[in-house]
Chains A and B, each alone.
Chain A
Amino acid sequence: MDGAQMEDFRIEECENDNNTHEDSQMEESEQNNKHMEVAPALISVHPTRNSVAVAVGSDLRVFNLLEDCAVILVDEAGGASHNDSIRGIKYGANGKLFVSAGDDKLVKVWSTESWRCIATVCSEKRVSAVAISNDGLHVCFADKFGVVWVVDLPGVDKTQAPLNKKAVPLLAHYCSIITSLEFSPDGHFIVSADRDFKIRVTVFPKKPLDGAHEVQSFCLGHTEFVSCLAFICTPDSPQGILVSGGGDSTVRMWDIISGSLLDTCAVGAKAQFESDTTEGNCSTVTDICTIPACTLIAVAIQSLRGIMLLSCDLSSRTLSVMKVVSIIGENFVPTSLGSSISGGLLWMVTGASKLRGSDVSSLSRVKVISGFEKSSPDTSEQEPAVLGDSEIPGGAKLLEKLQGSISVDEKVFLAAADAVKTAMCNLLIKKQYSDEKREFRKRTRNDRKSKH
């Protein structure tokens, strides 16, 4: 045989091997992803800044700012409150309740005064988003199959033994992962965003246990999954103005009564100029947070080491980029943002859990930006500035409790940020298969799965 011919033959073989190797690798990584999904760290701030909560993996850490001490959570079940990654945490608007839920299919409702778990609800599927109604009477949570459940809480009673309540379905997005759940400021509407680019605004009925059947509007316009929702409170519209961020690197403003798109801001493009990394695709908006008292919106974007501030002009209903606050000296890409209703400070956390390939399997870092005290017409008076560790409320004690340690190794944060980015893309972006791969998957799919 000719030498060249043999080489060709070998090259062909190698190519085939590469394809199948790639396929099996993809299958493998999919399997791995199911068991060891990296979960981003989350932060939530009490409405009147009584406390701050951070969730990293299955660990829920709370610091009481009023009494300047770490909080010990009391759960009748004993031990660590959650068994698997926490995916959603939120304080109720009236400040009395706190909810946490995640991959362990448990939704836990806590009293913010005693930090006792007053109710545990079992969910059929893993939970992806949570919300508490403004009056504190109902807790809603959304699962990964698109159903939003509701549970009623008769009233916070510290002396009662923790209840095991059964949730009923409230509404559903057909077969889509719900990424965010929010109540409108007046409590009349519940807004749910999913991975199929849709935002649904539903009237929250007087009797939620009968289901929320009346759809007010659909806010359609995102060209990729919607990742986060927030409301701007304005005096002239009690239902608020909805802002959403998505995988298409945009932040959009909506009128929820009609579902119409008021304005779009392509934050991904703007962030490219600021950050030094030249990452192309995944500049997803990971979290948005409205800072009350001034009409500013803080946006966390993948690969941006800091946050972008957008200002909202209420009369013209437009969004514009105000500035980018970079965090210098640290590889800090925020994974979650929070602020209290009294405003003034923006709390950020970065971190992840279930990291593979590093010594530390879970880590988190908290930072605070100040300078949002009042809505002054001349914003140059109040420059948002990143506070040093000693300047944040609670100081070293808070950092020790919420971070697990006062200082964390910096290099690990880059790996963490990357891992979170990959996990989000894997979860929310639909995989595009080539025609051959699709046929292959059709042939080998197992229709007889007993559990979904």
Chain B
Amino acid sequence: RIADDRSLRYREVRRIAYFNVGGRLLLESIEETRWSNVKLEKNKAKQTPLKHSAALHEEAKDFCFLASLIPSLQREIMLQNKANPTINKSTGLPRKRFYRARAHSNPLSDSHFPVPLSPSLVDYSLHYPQLFPSSDRSDGSKKIEFADIGCGFGGLLISLSTLFPETLMIGMELRDKVTEYVKERILGLRVANPGQYQNVSVVRTNSMKYIPNYFEKGQLSKMFFLFPDPHFKEKNHRRRVISPHLLDEYAYVLKVGGIIYTITDVEELGEWMKSCLQNHPMFEPLSEMELDADPVVKLLSTATEEGQKVARNGGQTFQAVYRRIKPASQENS
């Protein structure tokens, strides 16, 4: 029981540290407990209010480590957050009903989220703190290889994380609340399972516009498009996440031999995605044998909440799995 409580408190502290932009709560907690025995160049945290979340993030990272050493501080935080309804007290995982959002989001809008200027500026220490303690990445260090586009509530990523523990993966989601939910979920799992789930993260972004900002040429080995928005009306077909033009960009970030997985329960969309991929010179379909041999293919329809809903309702799914190839005519290798 004591072990559970401590992990709960640790998670709470980390959660506050990460997601409360108003650093006041954090600072008040620090001030109220006396912990002068802990050497803190974060003494400055006591004095200056931290307005920017980036600065707070730095403080929070160190704070989280130290907080686990200070029982009195943990108790303090715990008391203050007793009545937080958004987290399930027993599992430490977020409650979905507080993170509900519309299924549909407009991909054309220029929302307000930061976008990295180029792939080398993606902060891996923010997403994978245990594997990348500092923001500086050497040239030979690991890079993200799996990308779940429109990851929703994160079902697929969670399954993939334990299936491929050595691979870095990321989910991209346009909706604000849903991204928050996935963040909480990952944090909760990281705390409850030390050492695991360190290779998975999520980012809020418009993947139709900014994929080249996150990934270098030929960086990814797998891309997932599970149950994308069908955009039924013909005038909205251009908003679909799989389209002949966008496939150029996906082919750019996928390495030769990399695989793109798509699945949907809408037949027309399934036909559309299949024909886009079939007609694109840089993709070829996987053979039946290869599909059977790939463990990921089974996850497509079972791992996500959307997939489980379709199965519950007895619906049919249409999948298209293609491999990135070199185009037939190549002047420059």
Query: Which residues of A are in contact with B by a Cβ distance under 8 Å?
Result: 147, 169, 171-172, 174-176, 188, 196-198, 200, 202-203, 205-206, 210-218, 220-221, 223, 257, 259, 430, 452
**B330 to chain A: which residues have CB within 8 Å?**
214
**A223 to chain B: which residues have CB within 8 Å?**
117
Does B108 lie within 8 Å of A175, measured CB to CB? Answer: yes
Q: Which of A147, A188, A218 contacts B212 (CB 8 A)?
A: A218
Does A188 lie within 8 Å of B118, measured CB to CB? Answer: no
Instruction: Tell whether A205 pairs with B329 under 8 Å between CB atoms, given A174-B209, A175-B108.
Output: yes
Q: Which of B212, B235, B245, B247 contacts A169 (CB 8 A)?
A: B245
CB distance from B6 to the nearest CB of A (A): 39
Does A214 lie within 8 Å of B282, measured CB to CB? Answer: yes
Instruction: Tell whether A174 pairs with B246 under 8 Å between CB atoms, given A203-B332, A214-B327, A217-B217.
Output: yes
Does B327 lie within 8 Å of A206, measured CB to CB? Answer: no
Residue B133 is within 8 A (CB to CB) of chain A in the complex: no
Residue B257 is within 8 A (CB to CB) of chain A in the complex: no
Does B248 lie within 8 Å of A215, measured CB to CB? Answer: yes
Instruction: Tell whether A188 pairs with B281 under 8 Å between CB atoms, given A215-B252, A221-B117.
Output: no
Residue B110 is within 8 A (CB to CB) of chain A in the complex: yes
**A188 to chain B: which residues have CB within 8 Å?**
331-332
CB distance from B241 to the nearest CB of A (A): 10
- Report the bound CA distance from A213 to B246 in whole Å: 10
CB distance from A430 to the nearest CB of B (A): 5
Does B248 lie within 8 Å of A203, measured CB to CB? Answer: no
Q: Which of B117, B213, B247, B329 contacts A206 (CB 8 A)?
A: B329
- Report the bound CA distance from A176 to B107 in whole Å: 12
Query: Which residues of B are in contact with A by a Cβ distance under 8 Å?
Result: 107-108, 110, 117-119, 208-209, 212-213, 217, 235, 244-249, 251-252, 280-282, 327, 329-332
Instruction: Tell whether A220 pairs with B209 under 8 Å between CB atoms, given A203-B331, A211-B244.
Output: no
**B247 to chain A: which residues have CB within 8 Å?**
213
Does B327 lie within 8 Å of A220, measured CB to CB? Answer: no
Does A213 lie within 8 Å of B332, measured CB to CB? Answer: no
- Report the bound CA distance from A214 to B330 in whole Å: 9
**B107 to chain A: which residues have CB within 8 Å?**
175
- Report the bound CA distance from A191 to B108 in whole Å: 23
Does A215 lie within 8 Å of B249, measured CB to CB? Answer: yes
Does B209 lie within 8 Å of A196, measured CB to CB? Answer: yes
Does B245 lie within 8 Å of A174, measured CB to CB? Answer: yes
Determine which residue in B235, B245, B247, B331 has the highest number of CB atoms from chain A within 10 A of its CB, and name it: B245
CB distance from B114 to the nearest CB of A (A): 12
Determine which residue in A169, A206, A214 has the highest number of CB atoms from chain B within 10 A of its CB, and name it: A214
Instruction: Tell whether A171 pairs with B212 under 8 Å between CB atoms, given A213-B251, A214-B282, A259-B217.
Output: no
Determine which residue in B248, B251, B327 has the highest number of CB atoms from chain A within 10 A of its CB, and name it: B248
Q: Which 10 A-B pairs have the closest CB atoms?
A: A172-B245, A215-B252, A220-B118, A218-B212, A174-B208, A213-B248, A174-B209, A430-B110, A175-B108, A213-B281
CB distance from B236 to the nearest CB of A (A): 10
Closest to B210 in A: A196
**B213 to chain A: which residues have CB within 8 Å?**
220
Q: Can you list 24 A-B contacts (CB < 8 A)?
A: A147-B245, A169-B244, A171-B245, A172-B245, A174-B208, A174-B209, A174-B246, A174-B249, A175-B208, A175-B209, A188-B331, A198-B212, A200-B212, A202-B248, A206-B329, A210-B281, A213-B247, A213-B280, A213-B327, A215-B248, A215-B249, A215-B252, A218-B252, A430-B110
CB distance from A385 to the nearest CB of B (A): 40
**B329 to chain A: which residues have CB within 8 Å?**
205-206
CB distance from B177 to the nearest CB of A (A): 15
Closest to A431 in B: B110
- Report the bound CA distance from A110 to B118 in whole Å: 40
CB distance from B266 to the nearest CB of A (A): 21
**A212 to chain B: which residues have CB within 8 Å?**
248
**A220 to chain B: which residues have CB within 8 Å?**
117-119, 212-213
**A430 to chain B: which residues have CB within 8 Å?**
110
- Report the bound CA distance from A169 to B108 in whole Å: 20
Closest to A212 in B: B248
- Report the bound CA distance from A351 to B117 in whole Å: 34
- Report the bound CA distance from A205 to B329 in whole Å: 8
Does B251 lie within 8 Å of A215, measured CB to CB? Answer: yes
